[in-house]
Amino acid sequence: MTTRYRDGSIPKELWVGTDNTLRAWIQTKPGLARFWSESRTSFDEPFRSEVDQEFARKPVPAAR
């Protein structure tokens, strides 16, 4: 989706909500960190690097 947004296929109005939701999930869903660590190689650049940067930006809280 990142590539589609950048090439203009996805309108900004749709992308802003999607991007904000994905960032919130990365920051608040500990299970997503495990999924990403096991599955990140299934995704291509630049998406992979962007998600890696988001995980590095704020540590995911430990699961309870």
Please report, in tens digits, the pLDDT of each residue of the chain (64 residues total).
Answer: 778 888 999 899 988 998 899 888 988 888 999 999 999 999 999 889 989 998 898 655 555 5
If you search the block for the tokens 């930006």, which residue do you land on? 57
pTM value is 0.69
15-35 as b/e: b if 16+ CB within 10 A: beeebeebeeebeeeeebbee
In the numeric block, which tokens belong to residue 8?
A: 């203009």
- How far is residue 48 from each of residues 9, 15, 24, 44, 64, measured CA to CA in Å? 20, 17, 17, 6, 27
